[in-house]
Every structure is written in structure tokens, then in C-alpha cells.
Structure 1
Amino acid sequence: MNKRKIASALLMFSSVVYAEAAEAVDLLTVVEQSTDHDADLAAFRAGSIAAGEALPKARAALLPQVAAGWGRAYNSTVTEGVPNTHYWQNGWTVALTQPVFDWSRWTTYKQADFVQARGAVDLARAQQSAILRAVQTYFDELAAEDELTRADDYTAALDVHLEELRRRRRAGEATVIDVQEAEAACEQARSQQLDARDDLQLKRLALEHLTGQRFAGLSRLSDAAVMPGLYPEDMESWASQAEAHDYTVQLKQIDRRIAELEVEKARAARLPVVNLTASHTPAGAASGYVRPTTTTTAMLSVNIPIFEGGATSANIDEKLALEDRAQDELVAATRLAGASAREYWSRFLAGVARVEALSRLVQSSRAALNATKVGYRVGTRGSADVLRASDAFFANRRDLIRARYATVVGLIQLKAATASLDLDEVARVNELVLNVGDRQPVTRADVQHAVVDAKVERVAVEAKIETAAADTEMPLAVVGTQPPQSVAGTDPQPAAIDAAVQRALGSIRQQ
């Protein structure tokens, strides 16, 4: 490859890097666009609006009902011995009905608060699930990009080693077996490269499906990023937070309260119903045989149920059984929420420890690879040793990349388990671990400097390998994210639920 081709290739590479740096989007942008594009989340928003109408509907059943009507009728009266009477009559009527005592309607009115609250909590849970999906998909694509970079670097390193082996083979310093082993390793690396490229394509399609658009690039995980810490640090505080505020637990709490009111409504069927009714009907006759008549009626009616064939008792027993089921489901949801929080807490701390261990392992394997290369040059190590050391280093580097992403996602999952995951938390994580300015464009001076030597290609490949190894090092300091609300002394509510719904949830916890 001549200098002109090398310069053209590097210029193309620099333009791609610069374009990606200019158009890269961060985690918060992806999450926001994902939630705006999510059709399922839009359906939950519409459902929440529909649930909010339960309260005015129930209130309307307690208010006066006024109806009016107008009509025109033809009357024909035939009486023996009396002349027949035929005339048209028209008039209008106004009727008013005011419930005075109807315990079933009043219970439905109390129940409407919880129906409205259920719609809001259901929407908040859907929003949190959408955020969690977007975060997971974002880091899946980053992991796929890093895996492809690792596969490219691994393939380039093996190609350099294979070229050196072939040169030594021509000089009589290497065997055919060494060359064949290196060729087999190169083919395996190329297979990994193809798999990584296919996986990246699938991850990009998944992110495109989630957000509705294709991005030129994603902001990388900063090399200076630190794994966030947890406040409070003990597991049971997080478990208690989840057991009290997990969205599924809140839904089951609302369902239990609704079931209790359903029992109350069923028992109300045994109580009397008192209504006040009034009507006013002015009427006029078109012929001269009947005089216009105006009727005004007012009545207080009492309806007392006496016997309905046992339907009321059966309905009460049914609602009692459904109340027991709602209570059992609440217990199961509470236990599951606590167990999930403990699991995510353990996963996150294990992920932090794994990142630290893999960071040290990558440094050790890099040093071992460099030492093996030196030993190979002086004749104390063989080609197979270099291949094994290269494979170990790049495998450890891959595991470290995956562990860093998995740890960040584990923190997001822990936040979701305690119903505290929202856009503010995403923005906080975005500031902690992402740095949009990490990518620096390649300048023309860099390219001109790169083409000074005819052997720039091999030097660039080896430098790329060393730089990739060095980039895997990361600080191990721990910083804290926003702590969850204290379990003792406060009763925090998710920000996505408004004040009216919070009052309904507060009344549930007072039961």
C-alpha cells in the first residue's frame, strides 16, 4: 500500500470519526425520543385519561338528574250515545330526580378515586418500563459497537503476527506449523468479526425500532467514568423501598381497596333506596272539546328490598372471595418486589466488584502479552504462546466492556425496582458515566504526520492495539448517585403521580 492510499484511507477514517463526534446522541436524548415514539406508552396515556373520568361520572350519579321532553299526540274518543271526539294535543314535560339515600352510588363515588389512581399508577409503570427498555437497548448497541471494535483489533493484531511469521518462515526462522496455527487463529478472529458485525446491525435495528429514527452514533462510555455508589448502602433499605413503592405493589394495593368497596356495594343491595322525584307537564288541546290541563307532581319514594331469591347473598360471597384474592396478590407482589430489589442490589455490587477485578486482569493480561511478544522476538517464547496471550487479553477486554455496561444497567434496574426511575435519574446517570466530548476529530495534520513512513500501516495497527489495551483501564473510585427517599420518617411518592392520586394512595396505606 503506497503513501497516497494510506493518506486517503486515514482521511476517510477521520471524516467518519468527526461526523460521528458531531452527531452522537447521549442516553437522555435516546430515552426521551423513545418515550415520545412508544405507541404502547401512548395507549397507557389515553387509558389514564379515560380512568380519570371515573370520578366525574360517579359524582354525576349523586347530583340531580333533570330531563325534558316535548310531544304531539292525536286523540280519538268514541263513546256510545255521545258525539265522537277527535283532537290534536301537544305539550312538554320536565322531570327531576334527586337521590336522597343510595349507598351503592355513594360507594361507587368513593371507589372512583382509586380507579383514577390506578390509571395514573399504570401509566407511571408503563413510563418506567419504556425508560428501562430504552436504557437497555442503548447500552446493548454500545456493547455491540465495542465488541466489533475489539474483534477488529484482535483480527488486526493476528494479521500483524501472521505477516511476521510468514517473513520469518521465508527466512527459515519459523515452521509451517506456526504459520498454520496463526492462519487458523486469523480465520477464527474473522468469524468473530462477522458475528460482531451482524450483532451490531441487529442492535441498531432494535434501537431504530424503539426511537423511530436512525442515529449517526451514540455517546461512548467515558474512559474517566466511575461506577456509581449506592445510598443507603444496606440491602434491606432498598428492599423496604421496593415493597412500599414498587408500581406493581401500588396497583395491587389499589385493587385490594377497590375489592373492599365492591363488598360494600354488594352489601348495599340490602339497604333501602330513597329518591325524590318531581315533574311538571303543561298540556294544551287543539280542538275546543277538551280544556288544556297542567300537571305538577312531587314524590319521595322509598324502595325496600325484601327478597331477591338469594342473589344478594351470593353476590356478597363472590365479592368477599375476590377481596381475599386481591389481598393474596398484594402479598405476592410485595414479596416479589422485595426479592427483586435484593437481587438487583446484589447484581450491582457484584458488577462493581467484577469491573474492578477485570480492570486488574486486563492490565495483567496486557503486560503478559507484551512480555510474550518480547520473549518471542528473543526466541524464548513460541508463536503459540503469542496467540494464547493475545486471545486471553482480548477476551478479558471484552468481558470488562460487558461488565461496565451491565453494572450501569443494573443500577437502572435497581432504581426501577423501587419506583424511582424517571428522566431525572437517567439524566443523573447520563452525567456520571457519559461524556459527549470524548470523541475528538482527527485533524489533517494528524494524517500528514501518519504518512511520513512507508511502514505506517503496521505501526498504526500496533499502536491501535496498545491504545485499545490502555483504554480499558478505568478509575475505581466510587461516587454516589441521588439517594432514594428514606424509608423511615417519609412516605415518598413517584413524581409521575399527581397530588389527587397521591391522596388516594395515602388513604390506602392508612387502612
Structure 2
Amino acid sequence: MNMQTFSYLWLALLCLPVSLYATTLQQAAQAALAHDSVWQASRQTSEADKQKRWQGLSGMLPSLTLESSWDRQQQPDKKYQSGVTSHSYGVQLSQPLFDISKYAGWRKGAAIAATAEAQMRQAQEKLLAAVANAYFSVLYQQEVLRAAQTATRQFAQQMKQLRAGAENGLNTRIEVDEASANYAIAQAKEIEANSQLLLAGEALQRLSGLNSVALEPVDFRCLNALPYPSLADALMASQQRNSEIRLATSHSAQADADVLAANGAHLPAASLYARYGKNWSRSDNSDNLLYDAIFGTSTKTSNLQYGVNVSMPLFAGGSQLSQSFEAAHRREAAKYSLQEAQRKAAEETRAAWLGLTNGSALIDAQNHAVDAARAKVVSVRYGRELGFRTVNDEMEAQQKYFAALQDLAAARLNYLSALVSLAQSTGALSLAALHDFQCR
């Protein structure tokens, strides 16, 4: 197989119709969201924590309770004293009028719910990023394995030809040994590439539960344009949508609510209450025992009570003051954590942006390197036929060509990883974003 024929086969492998590939990146991500147990646990935990918003709100709303009782009173040592049976029921309504702790509880509940939403979004982004990187790793290892297999076949054929030439006196022992060494190295690289492909496939299968044999390749024609017009736009997006920043902001809101609750413990609390009920009783000497046992008609009273309760804390051993100091320090700590999250998001965005801009240039350079290496193989072969180059020169050119193919595959992998990192750092990583990798 000459180098030109191999080049055509290589391009054919990269341009196979997408209908032959069973799984797209978006399908793998969807399968992972349904398969991954860590994500499912995180989602259920988030849904549970979201209820804190309504629990906090309920503290500021009115509460209505219904109470009832039945009791029997007897005096066994009183021979002529009859027993008395009493019944009662009551409905009570209460409404907070002024209570900072209730308001702080609502704000903290809302902050906990926002934290749960941010944590779920963060867990989803981590899973999508892991699936995307595993998917790209499988594609990369497939390219490496194809190149290694082709190199093995190429060097095996060359070694066979040189051995036959050595028997006829056309080639030297040195050339045969060089070809044998190249063939052995190619075999070792093929074994290593096959092992790495199996490991990459296992990683993808663990995340998504899918077989990684048939994956649709990435179409780089869809990825020519950068996701943002400039680095400044990407940094602005990261400060607004980054999941780490959103999580730190929610923690800061919780700390603010804790400060409000601690300070509110020093203030009075007022609530409105109203109660209406009835009480009735009967003695065992009453007439019409059956009717009176049910309705208690002997003695019946109605009660209506309403008013305002006010409580004012005076002294609690200094614990409330200490809680205020504690909450204030934790609020400051939350502010510094938010600053760190903002700086980290900016750093990750810059690194991903640099990886994209340099990665695009590197892919172009590697494409030129592959073309140059392929042209060099053809030139060296032609020079060997004219007697200007040796067989060793040709084998060295072939090795550089296969190395250039692997370098191109690695450059593409790094570019895709940088693209995923940028989407994750700017809060744009989603199922819809993964749809763009296959031009659909």
C-alpha cells in the first residue's frame, strides 16, 4: 500500500456517512442523565432542598388549628357524688405581625432553594463535561488506533519486501534490521492504542451505559467560529452564569439571612391570635342519658378570645449576642468565598479561551504538518528510486508522517476539551450546546 492510497483511505474513514454511527454526543449525554446514579441522587436532593422556600414562607402565613377533648371525672370515695363527663372543641387562628426571625427564615429558605438549584446545575454540568470528554477521548483513541494499525501493516509489508531483497542481494542487513525495529515499535504502539481505546470506552460506558463501538465523529466545520465575539464577552458571561459563582452567591444570601435572624433575636415579636370554642358537660344523674351523652346538653358554654401577643427578649446569658457575632463572621467568609469563585471562573474562562484560540491555530499547523509529512514520504520514496535516498530515510519519513497524524488527533482533542471547558466556565454547557458538535 503506497502512501497516496493510505491517505485516501484515511480521508474516507473520517468522512463516512453519519448514518453508520449509532450514537451522537447529545444522545450519549441524555443516556448519562438517565443512567448516572450520582446525578440522580443530586437531582433528588435538590428537589428536596427546594421545599425550604415554601417552609420558610409558611412561617409568615397564618396558622389554623382545631382542638377537641373528652374527659371523664369521678370521685369513687364519695358515695353519693355522680360522675361528670365533659366535651370541648376549639378553633384557633394565629398570624405573625412583627417577627424578624420569621422573615429571616423565609429569606434563608429561598437562599437554600437557590443553592439547591445551583448545585443541581453544577452537577449536571460536571456530568455533561465528563461525558463529552469521555466521548472525545474515544474518538481520539480510535484515530490513534487506526493510524497505529496502518503503520503496522505498512512496516510489515516493507519488512517483507526488504527481507526478500536481502536474499537477492538488493538490500542490506542494516535495512532489514531497521525495518524489523520499526515493525516491532509499530506493534507495541498498536497494542497500547488498543488498550487506551478500551479504557476510554469503559469510562464512557460507566457514565452513560452505552457501547462506545459506534460513535458519530465531530464535524469541525461546525466549530470554526468562537462561541463569543471576544474574551471580554466570555468573561462577562462567566460572571453572570458560572455555576460556582451562583453557588457562592446563594451561600452568601444564606449568610445574610443568618445575620438578619441573629439580629432579629434582639427585637420584640408580635402576633395576632383568635380562638373560638364550646364546652359542655353532663352528670350521670341527668335525664335522657343517651341524648345527653352525645350532645352534652346539661351545661354548654361558648368562648371567643382574641388579642395580640408581644414578647421582648431581655437577657439570655449572652448567647444571642454571640450568635450575632458568629453570623457576622460567617457572612464575611461567604463574601470572600464569592470573590474567590469569581476569580476562579475568570481564570478558567481565560484558560479555555486561550486553549481555543491557540488550539485553532495548532490544528491548522498540524494539518499543514500532515500534508508536508505526506509529501515528504512521496519525495523520499522517489529519491530512493533514483538512488539519492536510502530505505532508512523512507522509513524515517513514514514514522514522522504517522506521528504527525497522532499529533493532529491530539490537537483536535485538546481543542474540543477547551470548547467544553469554556462552555462550562460560562454556564452555557447543556444538552442543546452538545447538539452543535455534529452540525445538526
- TM-score grouping bracket, smaller chain normalisation: 0.7 to 0.9
Q: Residues 298 and 107 of structure 1: is their aligned pair in 2 closer, same or farther, counting only changes over 3 Å? A: same
Aligned to 2:432: 424
Counterpart for residue 61 of structure 2: 63
1:105 lines up with 2:113 in the alignment: no
Which of 187, 191, 201 aligns to 2:188? It is 191
Q: Which residue of 2 aligns with 1:325?
A: 333
TM-score (norm 2): 0.87
Whole-angstrom distance in 2 between the partners of 1:197 and 1:286: 94
Query: Displacement of 1:85 after TM fit?
Result: 4.4
What's the C-alpha RMSD, in Å, of the aligned pairs?
A: 2.5
**Residue number in structure 2 paired with 1:37:** 35
CA contact (8 A) 2:28 2:210 kept: no
Could you tell me how far 1:216 is from its partner in structure 2?
A: 4.4
Q: Distance in 2 between matches of 1:63 and 1:21?
A: 59
Q: TM-score, normalised by structure 1?
A: 0.76
**Residues 170-225 of structure 1 deviation map (CA, whole Å, 9 limit, x = unaligned):** 11011222212211211111111111111111111111111112254111244x73
Aligned equivalent of 2:244, options 248, 260, 278: 248
- Residues 223, 437 of structure 2: 8 Å contact kept: no
SS at match of 1:173: coil
CA gap 1:96/1:123 in 2 versus in 1, 3 angstroms? same
1:262-316 Cα distance to aligned partner (Å, 9 max, x none): 1111111111122233332423234248953435233322111111111110000
Question: Is the 8 Å Cα contact of residues 102 and 274 (structure 1) preserved in structure 2?
Answer: yes
Q: Does 1:91 align with 2:99?
A: no
| Whole-angstrom distance in 1 between the partners of 2:134 and 2:60 | 50
Aligned letter for 2:267?
L
CA contact (8 A) 1:239 1:339 kept: no
Query: Number of matched residues?
Result: 415
Deviation, structure 1 residue 231: 5.4
Q: CA deviation at 1:324?
A: 0.3
Query: Is the CA contact (8 Å cut-off) linking 1:100 and 1:274 kept in structure 2?
Result: yes
Gap change, CA 1:391 and 1:130, over 3 Å in 2: same
Q: 1:226 to 1:157 in 2, by over 3 A?
A: farther
1:298 to 295, 303, 306: 306
Where 1:225 maps in the other structure, the secondary structure is helix
CA contact (8 A) 1:55 1:112 kept: yes
Matched, 1:139 2:136: yes
Equivalent position of 1:122 in the other structure = 119
Please point out which of 65, 74, 81 is paired with 2:72: 74
Question: Distance in 1 between the 2:162 and 2:104 partners?
Answer: 86
Query: How far off its partner does 1:238 sit?
Result: 1.6
3-state SS of 2:83 partner: strand
CA 59–266 in structure 1, closer or farther in 2 if over 3 Å, else same: same
Residue in structure 1 matching 2:159, options 145, 159, 162: 162
Cα deviation digits, residues 57-113 of structure 1 (max 9, x gap): 222222222222333322134899x95443333333333322222121022223333
Q: How does 1:56-455 map to 2 (within 5 A)?
A: 56-77=54-75, 83-222=80-219, 225=221, 227-230=223-226, 232-279=228-275, 280-288=277-285, 291-294=298-301, 296=303, 297-431=305-439
Letter in 1 for 2:39: L
Partner AA of 1:375 in structure 2: G
Higher relative contact order (CA closer than 8 Å, sequence separation 6+) = 1
Contact 1:20 1:217 in 2 (8 A): no
Q: What one-letter code is carried by the residue in structure 2 that aligns with 1:353?
A: A
Offset of residue 118 of structure 1: 2.0
Flag the 1:94–1:375 CA change in 2: closer, same or farther, 3 A.
Answer: same
Q: Which amino acid in structure 2 is aligned with residue 262 of structure 1?
A: D
Q: What's the offset of the Cα at 1:381?
A: 2.0
On the 8 A contact 2:69/2:89 being kept in 1, the answer is: yes
Instruction: Report which stretch shifted further, 330-339 or 42-51.
Output: 42-51
Tell me the SS of whatever aligns to 1:68: strand
Secondary structure of the corresponding residue to residue 421 of structure 1:
coil
**Secondary structure at the counterpart of residue 229 of structure 1:** coil
Q: Is the 8 A contact 1:91 1:281 kept in 2?
A: yes
**2:156 aligned partner, one-letter code:** D
Amino acid at match of 2:354: S
Secondary structure of the 1:25 match is: coil
User: What letter corresponds to residue 419 of structure 2 in structure 1?
Assistant: L
**Cα deviation, residue 129, structure 1:** 1.8
Identity %: 22
Unaligned 5+ residue runs, structure 1? 1-16, 433-511
Deviations 1:109-141 (A, max 9, x none): 233332222222222222222221111111100
Contact 1:276 1:300 in 2 (8 A): yes
Write out per-residue CA displacement over residues 4-34 of structure 1, whole angstroms, 9 at most, x where no aligned residue. xxxxxxxxxxxxx999953532222222222
**Structure 1 equivalent of residue 10 of structure 2:** none
More off after superposition, 274-283 vs 118-127: 274-283
CA distance in 2, matches of 1:200, 1:396: 19
Change (3 A) 1:372 1:19: closer
